[in-house]
A and B are shown apart, each in its own frame.
Chain A
Amino acid sequence: MKPNAAFNHFVNSVFGIDTLALDETKDNANKIIGAINHSYKDGKFGEFTINLKKRLWRLSDVIKSNPCNRKVLTE
């Protein structure tokens, strides 16, 4: 999996399909995308990825009742 594809999958697994659609042929890799890609590939940065996903789940619950906040988070 390419780094952008891993990041798309990570975000969309919380906020819903098609929330994020980075060009999977390009390489936008920064430290966050790189760490998430590693966690899919070889399990590295597991603690970080788990904690970030928990954060996104918490925020996902919070923005359900506030479409404006959802827009800020997902755009």
Chain B
Amino acid sequence: MATSNWPGYYAELAVYDFFTAFTDVQFEISVPATETLAKHTGANRKETSFDGCLTAIENLTFQVKALKDITKELIDNIRSAVLSEAKAEHIVANYPSDIDYKRIEDNFELLVKTLKDAISRKDTPTELKDQLPEISFRIFYERQKILTSEHFYLPYCHAQEWETFVLKHFDQLYDAKNNLIVYVSHPWFNGLHIPFMGRINFLRAFCRRVFCKLSKETRPISSLMPNQWPNANIQVSEIVKRIGAILFLFDDNVEPIAPGKLLSPVHPMTAYLYLNPNSQCANSSNRVFDRLINEMHPGMLSVIEGFEFDNY
């Protein structure tokens, strides 16, 4: 955890704590890449690693990812890259927090260059009108006591913009077995998905888009994510069918727990489980995830959603 990539390690720690509260876990396992979707990436890989395996629950493997506010992280990185070379006191960005982060990622270098050029001309407002009209920057050359910025956020818009997010690591899914993806959020790397910002609305809308919409997407992943997976030759629907469920863990361990609040055995984590109604292993999936849910202590899951009557 002593690295700049601490959210990833922190997320794994939280997940190990969550699962070991009720079942046996093998931390980190590797399998031949031929048993996973890595074989469709076009790269010659020998092994695929999983973050863990629930040995008492039919060896259900899981992958852990930090659910970060990637947009904010990218904007912070742009700001650091500019201020490390150009002389200004502050760069303030106004942007919608529910934007598709890939658009910022794709224009990262252009944004850095545009801001550096603006500073060399001593400009104050700056934007990329053609590529990213939603984002604007203000540059300050003298120290300010107070800085303000504007952001917009709609959970349903965020779910729409992020619907392919789950495909980012498709190569880490088993081919012929159930897969569980676990996303971990913490206030220090994700200030977006807090309850009063429509957390549950986002989670449900995001999962429904993945499970119910993308399960009908017949285009190859290379056409949806050409920058990341230019040579991958698998249909998006085939990837989505291999996801059995997505578990979200929100680790709110920064603030004190309100007195008298009923605590789960892994407080201060809040867990939300969404099951894929279109999983390829629908029958065994139900069995595995029924076992997973039954093994958990009461109070560990805040939401269980299977989309049975909402799968269209």
Q: Contact size class for A?
A: 20 to 34
Please judge, given known A-B contacts A47-B253, A73-B27, whether A30 and B17 are in contact too, CB under 8 Å. no
Is B10 in contact with chain A by the CB < 8 A criterion? yes
CB proximity of A44 to chain B, nearest CB, Å: 11
- Name the residue of chain A whose CB is nearest to the CB of B254: A48
Number of A-B contacts (CB under 8 A): 53
**Chain B residues, CB < 8 A from A72:** 27-28
**Chain A residues, CB < 8 A from B31:** none
Within 8 Å by CB of A7, from B2, B4, B13, B20, lies B2
Please judge, given known A-B contacts A31-B188, A59-B17, A62-B20, whether A51 and B25 are in contact too, CB under 8 Å. no
- Name the residue of chain A whose CB is nearest to the CB of B187: A48
**Chain A residues, CB < 8 A from B189:** 31
A 31-75 contacts with B by CB, 8 A: 31-33, 45, 47-48, 51-52, 55, 58-59, 62, 66, 68-69, 72-73
Please judge, given known A-B contacts A48-B253, A69-B25, whether A55 and B2 are in contact too, CB under 8 Å. no
Question: Are A28 and B3 in touch, CB under 8 angstroms?
Answer: yes
Q: Would you give the 0/1 interface string for B1-36, flagging 1 where the beta carbon is closer than 8 Å to chain A?
A: 111101000100110110011000111100000000
- Provide the main secondary structure of the chain A interface: helix
**Chain B residues, CB < 8 A from A51:** 253, 268
**Chain A residues, CB < 8 A from B2:** 4, 7, 20, 22, 28, 30, 33
**Chain A residues, CB < 8 A from B254:** 45, 47-48
Cα–Cα, bound, A69→B13 (Å): 12
**Chain B residues, CB < 8 A from A4:** 2
Question: Are A68 and B268 in touch, CB under 8 angstroms?
Answer: no
**Chain A residues, CB < 8 A from B14:** 55
CB proximity of B188 to chain A, nearest CB, Å: 5
CB proximity of A74 to chain B, nearest CB, Å: 11
Cα–Cα, bound, A72→B9 (Å): 11
Is B256 in contact with chain A by the CB < 8 A criterion? yes
Question: Are B256 and A30 in touch, CB under 8 angstroms?
Answer: no
- Name the residue of chain A whose CB is nearest to the CB of B13: A55
B 154-182 contacts with A by CB, 8 A: none
Question: Are B26 and A55 in touch, CB under 8 angstroms?
Answer: no
CB proximity of A55 to chain B, nearest CB, Å: 5
- Name the residue of chain A whose CB is nearest to the CB of B255: A47
Q: Most chain-B CB neighbours within 10 Å: which of A4, A22, A32, A73? A: A32
Question: Are B27 and A30 in touch, CB under 8 angstroms?
Answer: no
CB proximity of B120 to chain A, nearest CB, Å: 31
**Chain A residues, CB < 8 A from B256:** 47
B 101-116 contacts with A by CB, 8 A: none
Please judge, given known A-B contacts A4-B2, A7-B2, A22-B2, whether A32 and B10 are in contact too, CB under 8 Å. yes
A 1-45 contacts with B by CB, 8 A: 4, 7, 20, 22, 28, 30-33, 45
Cα–Cα, bound, A30→B14 (Å): 18
A-B contact pairs, 6 of them (CB 8 A): A47-B253, A47-B256, A48-B254, A55-B13, A58-B17, A69-B25
13 new A-B contacts, CB < 8 A, other than A4-B2, A30-B3, A52-B253, are A30-B1, A31-B6, A31-B189, A32-B6, A47-B255, A48-B254, A51-B268, A55-B13, A58-B21, A59-B13, A62-B16, A68-B27, A73-B13
* In the complex, the 10 A-B pairs of residues with the closest C-beta atoms, listed nearest first: A51-B253, A72-B27, A62-B20, A69-B27, A30-B6, A28-B2, A72-B28, A55-B17, A31-B188, A48-B254
